[in-house]
């Protein structure tokens, strides 16, 4: 068996590679394979007329050239192979009428695929065709991953979720899925049987990502003619997921990652206690206990209510959010509907990528309905202001109005007033309409105060003797 840790991100482009055979099958390009295999993977296309392209290659590309500076074909091919290029495309015009035999021989000697590009096909057409093939492959991969996510989430909701998730994973990957205990023994398995050599190799690979300090989170390898992979679960109890399949396709790692998250949640040591506590609280409530008495079964208060919208569209998005916030008390699935969560107020509520959150003030069990309304209003403000998280502001009636909306309304309402008029009006309102106290506060004559207030009432077209008008203007002056 050979095993390797997961590759570093960024070594290959995000789109899946395309086999050379798929590019050769595009009849409109007229490409012809002169030598080498046609099943190599192409990650990108690069055109170069340098005598030595080695410094400019990343590996995995289809290198296109017309041989402008091709003086030593053998050395040229040697450098291309050293750089890790997947294949060589040679345009027969305008420099050469045919592909040089020396180049064909060198490619054949090194096992490098050599593709003849006809005169009517520009190199850009080949590059565009490859990008389209990669886009199609990416779309296929996304659809496959999305279908697998739904299948795994459905399995996780079944009465025996762990075997069901393993079965769904084995079916999606076309192989076998095994859950290993910390001591390396099989805890559960699903899928078709594998040869004994592959089973032993998978067990050895699972030990590589076991609970030892500093061990990798995942590893892959080969054994018994199968492709193997192992992933450490996040439950902290040393469980490992092992997968064996005949081939490894783009998206397999992502699908296995979804299974790892679900199995980590399903096998977490605290899960049984959480379920028991919730069931106890529900039974108490149904048997007539008060909300405060039922809440004691869940732990000490006070509590915080969170309303959330967003997620990645998967069926288990709400469960993932609940796990990130550290609570098993969640209602709703996300998507078009809001998710509601109940958390102990002692735990922090932080911004969660892809979610918009509204958070209530801490509340005891009897006040949770009011806290639920607070969280709903906070979520509406968060969506209106495009903020990832908004907390309830216990600041009276003014807190019920969105700040930005109030400021915009205040600007429109008070626009006719100059700064002296608006400042005089603010002072006059704050002193309950007293002419003399306003004059003293602003160090102006009493008649000037009367003139300014009369002028403000005319410009605003408001009756300043009306208490409702005074209240509206006071809020507007504070909001501005």
pLDDT digits (tens, 9 = 90+) for 101-112: 999 999 999 999
Burial of 156 from C-beta contacts in 10 A (0-12 / 13-18 / 19+): buried
Q: How far is CA 359 from CA 74, 292, 320, 329, 380, in A?
A: 68, 21, 18, 15, 11
Task: Give this prediction's pTM.
Answer: 0.46
* Phi, psi torsion values for 193, nearest 5 degrees: -65, 155
Residue 207 or residue 291, greater confidence:
207
Q: Worst-scoring range by mean pLDDT, 9-13, 247-251, 336-340, 425-429?
A: 9-13
**Residue 269, pLDDT score:** 52
CA distance 375 to 372: 5
Name the CATH architecture for the domain at 157-266.
Answer: 2-Layer Sandwich (3.30)
Q: What is the mean pLDDT of the chain?
A: 84
- What are the residue boundaries of the structural domains of the chain, listed by start? 18-131, 157-266, 300-396, 403-479
For the ranges 248-262, 272-286, 422-436, the maximum mean pLDDT occurs at 422-436
**Residue 7, pLDDT score:** 42
Fold classification of 18-131 is: 3.40.1390
Provide CB contacts within 8 A for 322, sequence distance 6+.
328, 329, 330, 341
Mean pLDDT over 67-72 rounds to 94
**b/e string for 200-231 if b means 16 or more Cβ within 10 A?**
ebbbbbbbbbbeeeeeeebbbbbbbebbbbbb
Fold classification of 403-479 is: Arc Repressor Mutant, subunit A (1.10.10)
Q: Residue 385 has which token pair?
A: 């202001």
CA distance 211 to 204: 13
**Residue 310, pLDDT score:** 86
In contact, 428 and 444? CB cutoff 8 Å: no
Which residues sit opposite 357 in a β-bridge? 308, 389
Q: Worst-scoring range by mean pLDDT, 268-272, 330-334, 392-396?
A: 268-272
**Residue 235, pLDDT score:** 59
CA distance 437 to 421: 16
pLDDT-derived band of residue 73, with 50, 70 and 90 as boundaries? very high
pLDDT-derived band of residue 6, with 50, 70 and 90 as boundaries? very low
**Residue 412, pLDDT score:** 85
Q: Residue 159 has which token pair?
A: 């009465």
pLDDT digits (tens, 9 = 90+) for 30-44: 999 999 999 999 998
Q: Worst-scoring range by mean pLDDT, 162-166, 316-320, 476-480?
A: 316-320
**Residue 159, pLDDT score:** 65
For the ranges 180-184, 232-236, 415-419, the maximum mean pLDDT occurs at 415-419
CA distance 113 to 126: 16
**Residue 69, pLDDT score:** 93
CA distance 296 to 290: 10
pLDDT digits (tens, 9 = 90+) for 343-388: 888 777 888 888 899 999 988 888 888 899 999 988 988 887 888 9
**Residue 21, pLDDT score:** 94
pLDDT digits (tens, 9 = 90+) for 174-202: 899 999 888 888 888 899 898 999 999 99
pLDDT-derived band of residue 274, with 50, 70 and 90 as boundaries? low
CA distance 367 to 360: 11
Mean pLDDT over 444-456 rounds to 90
**Residue 12, pLDDT score:** 45
Mean pLDDT over 401-412 rounds to 76
Does pLDDT of 275 surpass 70?
no
pLDDT digits (tens, 9 = 90+) for 79-100: 999 999 999 999 998 899 999 9
Mean pLDDT over 383-394 rounds to 83
| 3-state secondary structure labels for all residues of the chain | CEEEECCCCCCCCCCCCEEHHHHHCCCCCCCEEEECCCCCEECEEEECCCCCCHHHCCCCEEEEECCCCCCCHHHHHHHHHHCCCCEEEEECCCCCCCCCHHHHHHHHHHCCCEEEECCCCCHHHHHHHHHHHHHHHHHHHHHHHHHHHHHHHHHHCCCCHHHHHHHHHHHHHCEEEEEECCCCCEEEEEECCCCHHHHHHHHHHHHHCCCCCCCCCEEEEEECCEEEEEEECCCCCCCEEEEEECCCCCCHHHHHHHHHHHHHHHCCCCHHHHHHHHHHHHHHHHCCCCHHHHHHHHCCCCEEEEEEEECCCCCCHHHHHHHHHCCCCEECCCCCCCEEEEEECCCCCCCCCCEEEEECCCECHHHHHHHHHHHHHHHHHHHHHCCCEEECCCCCHHHHCCHHHHHHHHHHHHCCCCHHHHHHHHHHHHCCCCHHHHHHHHCCCHHHHHHHHHHHHHHHCCCCCCHHHHHHHHHHHHHC
* Phi, psi torsion values for 113, nearest 5 degrees: -60, 135
pLDDT-derived band of residue 115, with 50, 70 and 90 as boundaries? very high
Q: Residue 113 has which token pair?
A: 């695929």
- What percentage of the chain reaches a pLDDT higher than 90? 31
Residue found by looking up tokens 């206990």 in the block:
289
274, 333, 341, 330: which is closest to 304 by C-alpha? Answer: 341
Does pLDDT of 8 surpass 50?
no
**Residue 268, pLDDT score:** 66
Does pLDDT of 300 surpass 80?
no
**Residue 287, pLDDT score:** 76
């Amino acid at each position: 068996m050979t095993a390797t840790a997961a590759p570093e991100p960024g070594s290959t482009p995000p789109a899946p590679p395309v086999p050379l055979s798929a590019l050769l099958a595009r009849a409109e390009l007229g490409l012809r394979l002169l030598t080498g295999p046609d099943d190599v993977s192409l990650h990108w296309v690069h055109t170069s007329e340098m005598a030595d392209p080695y410094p400019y290659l990343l590996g995995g590309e289809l290198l296109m050239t017309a041989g402008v500076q091709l003086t030593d074909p053998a050395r040229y091919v040697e450098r291309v192979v050293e750089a890790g290029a997947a294949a060589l495309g040679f345009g027969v015009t305008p420099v050469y009428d045919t592909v040089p035999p020396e180049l064909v021989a060198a490619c054949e000697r090194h096992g490098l695929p050599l593709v003849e590009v006809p005169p009517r096909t520009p190199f850009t057409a080949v590059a565009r065709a490859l990008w389209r093939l990669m886009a199609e492959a990416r779309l296929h991969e996304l659809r496959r991953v999305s279908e697998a996510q739904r299948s795994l989430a459905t399995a996780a909701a079944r009465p025996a979720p762990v075997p069901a998730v393993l079965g769904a994973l084995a079916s999606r990957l076309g192989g076998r899925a095994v859950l290993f205990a910390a001591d390396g023994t099989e805890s559960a398995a699903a899928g078709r049987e594998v040869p004994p050599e592959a089973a032993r190799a998978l067990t050895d690979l699972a030990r590589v990502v076991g609970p030892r300090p500093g061990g990798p989170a995942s590893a892959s390898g080969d054994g018994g003619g199968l492709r193997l992979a192992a992933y450490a679960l996040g439950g902290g109890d040393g469980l490992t997921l092992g997968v064996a399949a005949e081939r490894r396709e783009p998206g397999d790692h992502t699908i296995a990652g979804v299974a790892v998250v679900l199995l980590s949640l399903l096998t977490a040591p605290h899960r049984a206690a959480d379920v028991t506590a919730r069931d106890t609280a529900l039974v108490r409530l149904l048997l007539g206990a008060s909300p405060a008495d039922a809440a004691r079964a869940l732990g000490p208060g006070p509590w915080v209510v969170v309303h959330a919208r967003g997620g990645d569209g998967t069926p288990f998005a709400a469960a993932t959010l609940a796990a990130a916030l550290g609570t098993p008390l969640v209602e709703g699935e996300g998507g078009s509907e809001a998710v509601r969560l109940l958390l102990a107020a002692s735990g922090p509520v932080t911004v969660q990528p892809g979610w918009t959150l509204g958070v209530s003030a801490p509340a005891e069990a009897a006040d949770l309905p009011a806290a639920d309304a607070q969280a709903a209003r906070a979520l509406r403000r968060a969506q209106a202001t495009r903020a990832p998280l908004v907390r309830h502001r216990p600041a009276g009636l003014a807190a019920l109005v969105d700040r930005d909306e109030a400021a915009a309304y205040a600007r429109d309402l008070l626009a006719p007033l100059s700064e002296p008029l608006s400042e005089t009006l603010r002072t006059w309102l704050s002193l309950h309409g007293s002419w003399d106290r306003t004059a003293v506060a602003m160090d102006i004559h009493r008649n000037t105060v009367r003139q300014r207030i009369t002028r403000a009432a005319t410009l605003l077209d408001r009756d300043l003797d009306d208490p409702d008008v005074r209240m509206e203007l006071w809020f507007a002056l504070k909001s501005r």
